[in-house]
Structure 1
Amino acid sequence: MTALMGLSGAGKTTLLDTLAQRINIGVLLGGLYLDGCPLPQSMGRRTGFVHQNDIHLDSSTVREALQLSARLRRPESISLEEKMTHVEVIIKLLEMEDIADAVIGVPGAGLNLERRKRVSIGVELAARPDILLFLDEPTSGLDGNSALSIVQLMRKLSNAGQTILCTIHQPSSQMIELFDSLLLLIPGGKTTYFGPLGPRCKKIIDYFARHTRPCRDTENPADYLLEVSSSTETDWFQIWKESPEFLATQEQLQDILQEKEDTSLSGSDKAYAVPYLEQLRVVTRRAFINYWRDSDYVLGKVQLNIWMGLMNGLTFLQLSNDLADSRGRMFSIFVSVITGPVLSLQIEPRFIILRDQFLARENESRVYHWSVFTISALLVEIPFTLLGGLIYWLLWHYMVGYYYTSDRAGYAFLMYELYSLFVASLAQLTAALFPTVLAAQTATGFVWLVVNTFNGPLSPPPLTPRGWRWFYSISPLFYYIEGIGTNAMHALDITCEGSEIQIFKAPLSETCASFAAEFFNMSNSTGYLINPDATDQCEYCSYADGDQYVSAFCPP
């Protein structure tokens, strides 16, 4: 049980992250060895790493969090029964029997800080790390009693055979004496001491007392070490390099490296412990449980679709087949797709919460592959998205008065469900490209502005500047509008009311039909004459049916 200690800025966390292979900035020099051998591929999942900030899925229970770690980080050769038995042993070891089935929750509305820290340690122990357990500031944010309780727990684990390396900042005298060894750093990442503490820290105190004042009887050894090592008058790094303790550590290191050929690691060296399909099954199940327990999210999705469906349906309630209502039929379809931004803003925070959980802990620990997270995030959205799409379509389609026949209504239903899936996937794509919820939601406005501008009704392709017409070819929403619009308007006989009729005069001795015959013989002509036999005022309706009307929105 080794402590990594030093003043702020000494590089404690940087060193810990480097040793745990969790650092991806800067240039790494030197070598990393485990028992004299290069680090195995399985290093990530065979070591535990307890973050300073306890990162958990708030909807999981304590037992479920430990069980997921045991299922995915222990080799598949170990039976499920043995894994679950080990989880129960860890729960008892950490004295969490009373909260085993409690939902972890969020800070301030769930488990307290000490219990969250115990869960963090338990999640790593459930994987039964046979190499190392790293802890980054495990006592940060805890009161004195809670901090001591956590360090005593670590001592208990160490006595049971677990190798532990942890960073710690200004521990009490009771806590520092529970450690076996200490690595003391000064700013710049330079070592001032590395070795055993000795009973009541006597060995390290004697080392520093040779070069500076002795530690007073009533003084906390940790405070003493930090105080004397912070002195700029003494070059502690040079003193360490010239000390017999340094030479002893170098000799020990050389002995270990020379014996590396005879060292072998037990267990599989695969990066991931279980097969891909098992990863997908377990992670997807957890995602569904997470959604199911978050009733606010599910009910919010249902309510959004209810209110938006009612607003659209009641605005265009039971449209007739006159020209004005034909425009309403098409515009109602456009209104049905501007719901996309609202639904996206609801989906994105959920995706980012799951992604941050994965990136912060599960990715580095090789719990499961990144594609498993992506697929599970998509799969869990599908049933809730389809349910929301069904509710919206039922309220909208029949209230507006589109065709009720099974083939036409069925096609419209299928298209709207596909549109709902498009919204969910586009929202998750946008969320995946940005680091925070705020950034993703800011970008969502621009993304949907472009998508909805070029979906057809707002700016038909013939009326769009040539430089932008290419976008219609790649926009799924344009094909959706084209398909569902044609389905809604096909074979719809359009009639013109009085204010919609256009009037022109026919020349003398000609009927309206003969005078307009050349126009109606043109391939792109639309509409019909209401009084073709008249010889004076001719009444013209711009569109004869819905097919002619829809053609105005399609490319020539």
Structure 2
Amino acid sequence: MLEVVGAAPGSHANQDYHEVWLKSEERTKVIEELNHMEQTLSTGNNNTDASDEKEAHSEFATSISYQCYLVTVRLFQQYWRTPSYLYSKFFLTIYSELFIGFTFFKADHSLQGLQNQMLSVFMFTVLFNPVLQQYLPTYTRQRDLYEARERPSRTFSWKAFIISQIIVEVPWNILAGTVAYFIYYYPVAFYRNAPTSQQLHERGALFWLFATAFYTYIGSFALMVAAPFEVAGNGGNLASLFFTMALSFCGTMVTPELMPRFWIFMYRVSPLTYFIDGALSTAVANTYVKCSPYEYVKMIPPVGKTCQEYLGTYLTNAGTGYLLDPNATDTCSLCTVSDTNTFLSSVSSHYSKRWRNWGIFICYIAINYIFAVFLYWLCRVPKKSRMAK
């Protein structure tokens, strides 16, 4: 612009832009609008309809819905034009899930393989804290900008601000969860656990729903803990505490039967209880177990009896387990688990509750967003004095 008007060093203007402006059509329209405003605003406009009158006395120039639309579009553009936050989120997701997926690459159906598959689901949740910590400074900068500039000038409402934060984060979290699903679910080879093609498709889709819901849950929890605090680190510390407690009492490290009765309520209220239960049962249930050679329990049957004759009653009563060679007479090799459902029952996970667990986990996401809006209103929105008229 400076070069065009001749103000930059070494540049020359080819015309007098002041004269161009004075003779322009735009200036004529500006003068006409100013004259119109001078006549109508000073004397009052008696033809103002009800909608104009309502708008003139409202706090903001547009409705909340239109404010949400504009602020959401602006925030999408901000993420796209300054993608450092998105780059770090997807780099962390890809690197971590590839590491977890190939650490447990093609876990088999042995007892140790089942333990590895359960541990991989457990490790899937460990990304909660680093992904959450990435969002906190991004949100804090946006909030500080809003509270210093847009709120004092009545540009848009705090409701539009907080709702746009929710709307913009959800698609990116779903995309991150989708990426995590593909680079984690297939390397671990959960798809091999489905006994039929119908279950293969259903379980794959449901695990994708769990993966995307988990990343959305991280975003909702991050917004909830960041909403009331001035410093992002305070929200991060609170989130770390809650996550540690939820993970400790989710039933993976200690089953509900072994928990002290006082702490059993934590098992029931922990969102990770329902996530791990649903994701693990979806990935592992309804398939066989084949013990590795070192996992068989060895025992010698009585003289003249086969292993089936010696242990057949036990296997019938136990309802699980199998013999490597039922007709052996020298040494019996017993695998104590014959199907994955028995293994899942030992860790309080049930395939029949998979959709229920997903629904409950979605409710936790909704609760987080509700609390985020409430806490922001409670702690950050200036309240009108009751004595004000």
Please give the TM-score of this superposition, normalised by the length of structure 1: 0.49
In structure 1, C-alpha distance between the alignment counterparts of 2:349 and 2:283, rounded to whole Å: 19
Cross-structure match for 2:187: 399
- Cα deviation for residue 316 of structure 1 reads 0.8
Secondary structure of 1:539's match? strand
In structure 1, stretches of 5+ residues that fail to align are 1-96, 99-159, 161-264
Of 349, 364, 374, the residue aligned with 2:137 is 349
Amino acid at match of 1:472: Y
Give how far 1:377 is off.
0.5
Structure with the bigger RCO (C-alpha within 8 Å, sep 6+) is 2
Q: Could you tell me which of 324, 338, 348 is aligned with 1:544?
A: 338
Aligned partner of 2:282 in structure 1 is 487
Check 1:555–1:318 CA distance in 2 against 1; reply closer, same or farther (3 A cut).
closer
Matches within 5 A, 1:267-416: 268-403=56-191, 405-416=200-211
Residue in structure 1 matched with residue 254 of structure 2 by the alignment: 459
Deviations 1:143-186 (A, max 9, x none): xxxxxxxxxxxxxxxxx9xxxxxxxxxxxxxxxxxxxxxxxxxx
Q: Work out the number of aligned pairs and report it.
A: 294
Instruction: Determine the structure 1 residue equivalent to 2:230.
Output: 435
Alpha-carbon offset, residue 535 of structure 1: 4.3
Change (3 A) 1:266 1:416: closer
Q: 1:500: Cα distance to partner?
A: 0.7
Structure number, greater radius of gyration? 1
Q: Which amino acid aligns with 2:59?
A: A
Within 1, Cα distance between the matches of 2:175 and 2:55? 45
The residue type equivalent to 2:73 in the other structure is: R
The Cα of 1:509 is off from its aligned counterpart by: 5.3
CA spacing shift, 1:555–1:395, aligned 2, 3 Å: closer
Q: In structure 2, the residue corresponding to 1:321 is in which secondary structure?
A: coil
Shift of 1:340: 0.8
- In structure 1, C-alpha distance between the alignment counterparts of 2:238 and 2:67, rounded to whole Å: 32
Please give the per-residue CA displacement for 1:306-361, whole angstroms capped at 9, x wherever unaligned.
10011111211122222211211111111111111110010111122222223334
- Taking only aligned residues, the RMSD between alpha carbons, in angstroms, comes to 2.6
Distance 1:371 1:539 in 2: 66
CA drift at 1:301: 1.2
Helix, strand or coil: the match of 2:291?
A: coil
**How far apart are 1:442 and its partner, in Å?**
2.3
What is the CA–CA distance in structure 1 between the aligned matches of 2:218 and 2:55, rounded to whole Å? 45
Q: What is aligned with 2:263?
A: 468
1:530 paired residue number: 324
Determine the structure 1 residue equivalent to 2:243.
448
C-alpha change, 1:528 and 1:392, in structure 2 (3 Å) is same
Question: After superposition, where does 1:414-433 map in structure 2 within 5 Å?
Answer: 414-433=209-228
Whether contact under 8 Å (1:419, 1:477) holds in the other structure is no
Deviations along 1:241-292, one digit per CA (max 9) or x if unpaired, are xxxxxxxxxxxxxxxxxxxxxxxx9972223332121111111111111111
- Bigger helix share: 2
CA distance in 1, matches of 2:223, 2:140: 9
What is the deviation of 1:424?
1.0
Distance 1:394 1:266 in 2: 52
Evaluate the alpha carbon distance shift between residue 267 and residue 297 of structure 1 in structure 2; reply closer, same or farther with a 3 A threshold: closer
- Report what 1:520 is aligned to: 315
Partner deviation per Cα, 1:528-555 (whole Å, 9 max, x = no partner): 2323344453221121111111111117
TM-score (normalised: structure 2): 0.69
Spell out, residue by residue over 1:471-506, the C-alpha distance to the aligned partner (whole angstroms, 9 max, x if none).
232223221211121121122211111211112343
Q: Secondary structure at the match of 1:271?
A: coil
| 1:319–1:328 CA contact under 8 A, matched in 2 | yes
Q: Which residue of 2 aligns with 1:65?
A: none
Q: Give me the whole-angstrom Cα distance separating, in 2, the residues matched to 1:347 and 1:453.
A: 24
Secondary structure of the residue aligned to 2:56 is coil
